[in-house]
């Protein structure tokens, strides 16, 4: 299906209404709100990292309510088992006295799943999300079941340095379209948060979009155009993250592993989603640069020297964006 310029402008306005409605309840956190919407449009999953109490869980719950999606929350703890996420087969006694196995769906079978404090569970339990996130299916005892559409996993995690956390496996980190850092609120935002949460005012959120409209928006994102030179620019950025091929000395010195093909796919998907939000049907350099950090910060693995020197993935990505120019590497 071919969409017109008016279609993209209309969808941009609807998405602006979504952001406005989320802002009725969520104070600040502009980047977190923006990229949560981008991930929904790009049909991907997001990882939100920040200190406890910064509103990560409330943000995701608010997004699901405004988008009118079925919602479930999984609290990850060290004793959580994979079957607690996916569900399990149970023996059910029939009226004729016979017995049969009946599958009881787990909380993963929702359109929007909040994996709360995902890095507090063991790696075995964390990996139970892999199939659902990658293939949008769940296999239990050889029986494969499809997830509802649209389907998103938005996970929260506390900084790894905090006690009682387990680093996410690299394979699962790569499944997330982007990693969003939830910043500490400013003084003015703290005052507004306190006013909204400690007073008698109750905010009722309106449902601005629904699942059918989201699926349509996702299709519009796929049809956003990207010129060959824009695609080449994105490829150059990904190639610059590889230490064995890097022309940037700091990347070769401090990075152990760079981004793979899924990083390039995520970069293009989120750039297209940002273009749609802006009402455009083509990707610009600004789109690619804006989404580069959230897309790549969890895909750059620093080596021992990089960690010892206090280097950060964000700092190295900034260096890549400053060095890589459209059509060339300076």
Same domain, 165 and 313: no
**Digit-coded pLDDT (tens) for 99-146:** 777 777 778 888 888 888 887 877 777 777 777 787 787 777 677 777
The verdict on 157 and 243 lying in the same domain is no
Residue 315 contacts residue 279 (beta carbons within 8 Å): no
pLDDT digits (tens, 9 = 90+) for 162-193: 556 677 777 677 888 888 888 777 788 777 77
What integer pLDDT is reported at residue 329 of this predicted model? Answer: 45
Q: 233 and 167: one domain?
A: no
Are 53 and 174 within one domain?
yes
Interval 36-74: pLDDT, tens: 888 888 888 888 887 776 777 778 888 888 888 888 888
Please indicate, yes or no, if residue 177 is contained in any of the structural domains. yes
Last residue of a domain, one of 213, 246, 275: 213
Positive/negative CA dihedral, 287, 288, 289, 290: positive
Cα separation, 279 vs 224, in Å, equals: 10
Q: Radius of gyration over alpha carbons of the chain, in Å?
A: 21
213, 242, 277: which is the final residue of a domain? 213
Residue 1 has pLDDT above 60, yes or no: no
Q: What is the enclosing helix (H) or strand (E) of 216?
A: helix 211-222
One domain for residues 152 and 10:
yes
Q: Are 116 and 156 in contact (CB under 8 A)?
A: yes
How many domains is the chain partitioned into structurally? 2
| DSSP string of 80-135, one letter each residue | --HHHHHEEEEEEE-TTS-EEEEEEE-TT-SSEEEEETGGGS-HHHHGGGHHHHHH
The helix/strand/coil state of 208 is: coil
Residue 329 main-chain phi, psi, to 5 deg: -110, 120
The total of other beta-carbon atoms located within 10 Å of residue 153's CB is 24
| Band of residue 272 on the pLDDT scale cut at 50, 70, 90 | very high
Q: Cis peptide before 215, with omega less than 30 degrees from 0? A: no
- Is residue 38 a part of any domain in this protein? yes
Q: Are residues 33 and 154 in the same domain?
A: yes
CATH of residue 40? 3.40.50.300
pLDDT (0 to 100) of residue 269? 92
Looking at 213, 248, 283, which one is the last position of a domain? 213
**Same-domain check for residues 109 and 232:** no
């Amino acid at each position: 299906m071919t969409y017109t310029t008016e279609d993209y402008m209309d969808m941009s306005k609807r998405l602006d209404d979504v952001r406005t409605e989320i802002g009725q309840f969520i104070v600040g956190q502009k980047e977190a709100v923006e990229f949560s919407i981008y991930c929904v449009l790009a049909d991907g999953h997001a990882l939100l990292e920040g200190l406890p109490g910064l509103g990560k869980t409330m943000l995701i719950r608010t997004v699901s309510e405004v988008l009118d999606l079925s919602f479930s929350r999984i609290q990850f703890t060290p004793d959580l088992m994979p079957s607690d996420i996916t569900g399990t087969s149970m023996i059910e006694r029939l009226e004729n006295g016979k017995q049969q196995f009946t599958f009881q769906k787990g909380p993963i079978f929702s359109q929007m799943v909040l994996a709360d404090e995902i890095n507090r569970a063991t790696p075995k339990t964390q990996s139970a999300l892999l199939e659902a996130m990658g293939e949008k299916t769940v296999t239990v005892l050889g029986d494969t079941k499809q997830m509802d559409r649209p389907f998103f996993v938005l996970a929260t995690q506390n900084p790894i340095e905090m006690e009682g956390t387990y680093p996410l496996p690299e394979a699962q980190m790569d499944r997330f379209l982007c990693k969003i850092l939830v910043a500490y609120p400013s003084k003015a935002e703290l005052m507004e948060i306190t006013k909204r949460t400690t007073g008698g005012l109750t905010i009722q959120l309106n449902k601005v979009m629904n699942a059918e409209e989201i699926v349509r928006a996702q299709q519009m994102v796929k049809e956003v155009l990207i010129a060959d030179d824009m695609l080449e620019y994105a490829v150059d950025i990904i190639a610059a993250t590889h230490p064995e091929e890097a022309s940037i000395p700091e990347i070769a010195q401090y990075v152990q592993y760079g981004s793979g093909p899924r990083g390039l796919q995520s970069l293009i998907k989120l750039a297209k989603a940002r273009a749609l939000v802006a009402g455009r049907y083509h990707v610009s350099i600004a789109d690619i640069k804006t989404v580069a950090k959230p897309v790549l910060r969890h895909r750059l693995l620093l080596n021992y020297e990089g960690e010892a020197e206090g280097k950060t993935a964000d700092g190295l990505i900034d260096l890549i964006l400053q060095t890589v120019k459209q059509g060339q590497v300076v």
